[in-house]
A and B are shown apart, each in its own frame.
Chain A
Amino acid sequence: MSTAETHAHEGHHHDQPTGLARWLFTTNHKEIGTMYLIFAFAMLFIGGGMILLVRAELFQPGLQIMQPEFYNQLITLHGLIMVFGVAMPAATGLANWMLPMMLGAPDMALPRLNNWGFWILPPAATLLVTPFFLGLAGIGTGAVDAGWTMYAPLSVQTGWGMDFAIFAVHMLGMSSILAAINVIVTIVNMRAPGMTMMKMPLFAWGFLMTAILLILIMPVLAGGVTMILTDRHFGTHFFDAAGGGDPVLWQHIFWFMGHPEVYVLLLPIAGAIPHVLQAFSRKPTYGYKAQVYGMWAITVLSVVVWAHHMFTSGMPTTAQLYFMYSTMLISLPLAVLFFCWIATVWKGSLSFETPMLFALGFIILFGWGGLTGLVLADAAADPQYHNAYFLVAHFHYALYPTTILGVMAAVYYWLPKWTGHMYDEKLGKLHFWLAIIGFNMTFIPQFFVGLAGMPRRIPDYALQFAEWNMLSSIGAFILGASHLVFLYVVIKCVRGGAKAEAKSWEGADGLEWTVPSPAPLHTFDTQPVVK
């Protein structure tokens, strides 16, 4: 796998535009990957800032700093931004940076499409939050406030922030589909000679599954929100019983997208984590084939279980049984992944650098998220958890470890490759422990306050919920602060630090570690051969 010859020529045969034009017109996967990651991180601060306002309001009972109308905008935007603005762009950023290098390809298969896919995002995000800021300035009714699930008929009734959200969802969906097409084409066509599908890095497998799901589900959501749009303005009655429609139809459409979306967010991380585990266990990945088939099984099952989000909406007993048992079935392939991750670590030669800490934190906390999901799958007990804080705590245990801890593991792991410097290990560990303490302190209380009977999405609550909420709010601010540490670590690492070697980690394995650190703008002009 000698690539020294290639690197001698890097950067010679391209005239780079400079300044803003460089970023606007770039078709380079590394630059686009960087933009995706910066975008995701900026959105993390916006979506996170919003939820800190919410936690500040919930610090004690009573309305202190905001009115319910404003509160509803904050929780809605928090959900939409975190899912579509943070989690998905972050994963796509990782894929852009790493897929070509891991597959031994010079770039993504469709570079211009890649550029377009990214540059749809900032306008989409702007569209989503514009009514929010206009509302603050006293213009209009504010941003969409029907919850990120946008349940009809509330979303049909609400102000024009909803129209902005509908078009933002269209654009976000289009961006996701473009990225998904690019990933699939790249993986299928651009692998290095000798790299069969079953020799491909697991990260590529994870993102391939995500890409397939995205192409399957995003058009459904786009169609659904368009139906809301025509119900709002063009006299249709898709979700209005008075005109022959059904409000619950929206829930089916939404969760047909919404449930696989959970796995859209999980699978790239489930693919990335084995690379980290293997590096810091100094031991090859356990059960590669089992993990690949496990991911396939998750992908297939994820699209046939959606209505377990709707047990309180009312549905036939047989449908409840089906959705309950099929949901439980997903625990099997997920258990395969957990088993393989733990078996990779088992009897390794372990060291606990920051990426490893984040990877293990992901496994443990996501494990609890998955186990509580099993409890929620019981259609008869579900009404007690559903739309209460127990549910909120559960899905944050599923999504935060995945989309933040998992992405952080990957970012710390590949940061030396991107910047050419080692990051500050002490600060990285500080970031990890702050995040773990803050996260658990935020969400453990929410399990209990949910069992006590506190519904979600309320700006004010009864007195018996007060103590847990205060604890949760304190935790949220610690969690928020941990990301500032991360920001500082990344800036410091970009600016300087110990020189990173081509193979930055002792146990690292894969084509990306054969190119120098930092990775030159163009890699693998001549494809390496995998034996």
Chain B
Amino acid sequence: MGILVRRVGAVLTAVLALAFWHSAAWADFSWNFPEPVTPIAEETLKVHNLFMLIITVVFVTVFAIMLYSFYTHRKSVGHKAADFTQPNSRKQWFWVIVPFAVLLFIDYIVFGIPAYHAIHMYEDSKTDAEMVVKVTGSQWKWQYEYPDEGIKFVSVLTTPREQVMNQAPKEENYLLEVDNPLVLPIHKKVRFITTSTDVIHSWWVPAFGVKRDAVPGFLREFWATIEKPGIYRGQCAELCGKDHAFMPVVVHAVSQSDYDAWVATKQAEQVAAAASAQETWSRDRLMALGQEVYGRACAVCHQPEGQGLPPVFPALAGSAMATAPFVDGNGNLIKDGHLDRVMNGKAGTAMQAFKATLNDAEIAAVVTYERNAFGNAANDEVQPSLVSRLREAGQ
């Protein structure tokens, strides 16, 4: 409530300040793009400032001409109407042509030439690219993959639900914070490849000046060379369903040595995860991991207590699928069984193929959890090694 009062105060002060033009009251308002940290963002800001200046000058000039006319040519001061309907002399023709010549010049010289070069710069993601990151959008998370380093992870929003529902005070990076940020080295040209697993998303970090759609079934690309270390935040920019507002992008730009250290840690984590997937897990261990995975990957649709949001998002509590067998006698996946649905999703719905975004242990754990939570009593478990074997078998 305190924040609300402060904010209403700020807005009211700003409205008053408009009358008295007092700049301090506008401190909470931002007026332009964030500070650019890539060549594209710098170019965009430069072009943007130039364009805005020009169109503002054009607007103010024309507006001033109109205001002059409103004031001078009033009937109430006895101004008599002229009756011209077209240019009649060479001089008048000249003044008719001038605005259009100016406009042509602005369009195709002042705007057109820098834009030509900027487009070529924007689209050249290949020349001198030093590393590749694949960005995959899914409802409602981003997956980042470093093909050369063999690193792959999912990045989801960490802002607690209580803050969204106004039951807890909102913190500084409200809605712009994630569990696993994308980590990139500075001064390196990064070539991004984007795609999606379900609907169209759009990856956008304003400080980088880039936004590109992630289109399912297609690859799109763009690039960024970050010049300054820091934490940069952005959001999905294409309506992608219910939680479109809740899939932020967070990038940590670090020095090359910090980046190398991070890569080593990440690789070690993945090796450990792969090794542990071959162990036999106890039910308790699966349930503990499963609950955590469920919370970040499933609860948004199927709800924390598994009650779902029918008819779009079915309930898992009491679901027949979640207690029926999931592999057949030969150890193959049963089509449309529980494990198949989690691994491969359901076409044409928001249920995605989680084998693309969760590792073996996570899939095994979450399926085990769903079969033995919310009053479901399948009383069985899925071992990570089974998921690993099915994955290798292309199922």
Residues of chain A having any CB pair with chain B under 8 Å: 60-64, 67-69, 72, 140-141, 146-147, 151, 153-154, 156-159, 232, 240-242, 246-248, 281-290, 312-314, 317, 320-321, 324-325, 328-329, 331-332, 335-336, 338-339, 342, 345-352, 360, 363-364, 367-368, 371-372, 374-375, 377-381, 383-384, 386-388, 448-449, 451-453, 455-464, 466-468, 470-471, 474
Contact = CB atoms under 8 A, between A and B. Distances in A.
Contacts of A242: 217, 347
Given A286-B84, A374-B107, A453 B239 contact: no
Interface in B73-129: 73-76, 79-86, 96, 99-100, 103-104, 106-108, 111-112, 115-116, 118-123
Nearest to B41: A384
B198 to A, nearest CB: 7
A317 B245 contact: no
Given A320-B119, A380-B122, 15 more contacts: A61-B174, A63-B165, A68-B246, A154-B199, A241-B215, A288-B85, A312-B212, A314-B220, A342-B69, A349-B75, A384-B211, A452-B33, A453-B34, A467-B10, A467-B14
Contacts of A449: 30
Given A151-B239, A154-B200, A350-B73, A452 B209 contact: no
**Nearest 4 A-B pairs (CB), nearest first?**
A241-B217, A380-B118, A458-B245, A453-B206
A248 B204 CA distance: 19
Contacts of A363: 66
Contacts of A154: 199-200, 239-241
B63 interface: yes
A328 B43 contact: no
A75 to B, nearest CB: 8
Interface stretch (B45-53, B146-154, B290-298, B329-337): B45-53
Contacts of B237: 312, 386-388, 455
B86 A287 contact: yes
Contacts of B236: 455
Give the interface size bracket for B toward A: 35 or more
Contacts of A371: 55, 58-59
Contacts of A313: 213, 215, 220
Contacts of A153: 198-200, 216
A131 B225 CA distance: 48
Given A314-B215, A467-B29, A381 B47 contact: yes
B238 A63 contact: no
B103 A335 contact: yes
A375 B55 contact: yes
B79 A349 contact: yes
B323 interface: no
B20 interface: no
Contacts of B206: 384, 452-453
Contacts of B120: 317
B115 A378 contact: yes
A372 B111 CA distance: 13
B245 A461 contact: yes
Contact of A312 (B175, B209, B211): B211
Contacts of A467: 7, 10-11, 14, 28-29
Contacts of A147: 239
Contacts of B244: 68, 72, 457-458
A471 B104 contact: no
A378 B7 contact: no
Contact of A282 (B8, B75, B76, B116): B75
Interface of B: 4, 7-8, 10-11, 14-15, 28-34, 40, 43-44, 47-48, 51-52, 55, 58-59, 62-63, 65-66, 69-70, 73-76, 79-86, 96, 99-100, 103-104, 106-108, 111-112, 115-116, 118-123, 163-166, 170, 172-176, 198-200, 202, 204, 206, 209-213, 215-218, 220-221, 233-246, 309, 311-312, 347-350
A283 B238 contact: no
Contacts of A61: 170, 174-175
B199 A380 contact: no
Contacts of B14: 467, 471
A138 to B, nearest CB: 11
A396 to B, nearest CB: 16
Given A381-B115, A387-B238, A350 B70 contact: yes
B50 to A, nearest CB: 10
A213 B310 CA distance: 42
A388 B11 CA distance: 22
A253 to B, nearest CB: 15
Q: Is the interface of B mostly helix, strand, loop or mixed?
A: mixed
A274 to B, nearest CB: 11
B165 A282 contact: no
Given A348-B81, A379-B115, A383-B209, A325 B108 contact: yes
Contact of A367 (B7, B59, B204, B211): B59
A380 B47 contact: yes
B337 to A, nearest CB: 21
Contacts of B234: 453
Contacts of B75: 282, 349-351
A374 B85 contact: no
A158 B243 CA distance: 13
Given A312-B213, A314-B215, A367-B59, A384 B44 contact: yes
Contacts of B84: 286, 347
B63 to A, nearest CB: 6
Contacts of B209: 383-384
Contacts of B29: 448, 467-468
Contact of B242 (A72, A232, A383, A468): A72
A479 B269 CA distance: 56
Contacts of A349: 73-75, 79-81
A463 B174 CA distance: 7
A448 B66 CA distance: 26
Contact of B83 (A283, A314, A378): A283
21 contacts: A62-B165, A68-B246, A69-B242, A69-B309, A147-B239, A157-B199, A157-B350, A242-B347, A282-B81, A313-B220, A348-B69, A371-B58, A375-B48, A380-B118, A387-B237, A387-B238, A452-B34, A453-B204, A453-B206, A467-B14, A468-B30
A352 B67 CA distance: 12
A470 B11 CA distance: 7
Nearest to A347: B82
B7 A470 contact: yes
Nearest to A146: B239
A452 B207 CA distance: 10
Contacts of B47: 378, 380-381
A284 B83 contact: yes
Contacts of B218: 241, 246-248, 314
B31 A451 contact: yes
A467 to B, nearest CB: 5
Contacts of A383: 44, 122, 204, 209-212
A371 B74 CA distance: 28
A470 B349 CA distance: 36
Nearest to B219: A314
B65 to A, nearest CB: 7
A156 B51 CA distance: 39
A487 B319 CA distance: 53
B85 A141 contact: no
B76 A351 contact: yes
A7 B129 CA distance: 80
B63 A364 contact: yes
A474 B11 contact: yes
Nearest to A314: B220
A349 B75 CA distance: 5
B172 to A, nearest CB: 7
B176 A331 contact: no
A334 to B, nearest CB: 10
Contacts of A345: 66, 69-70, 73
Nearest to A386: B211
B211 A462 contact: no
Nearest to B46: A381
A338 B81 CA distance: 20
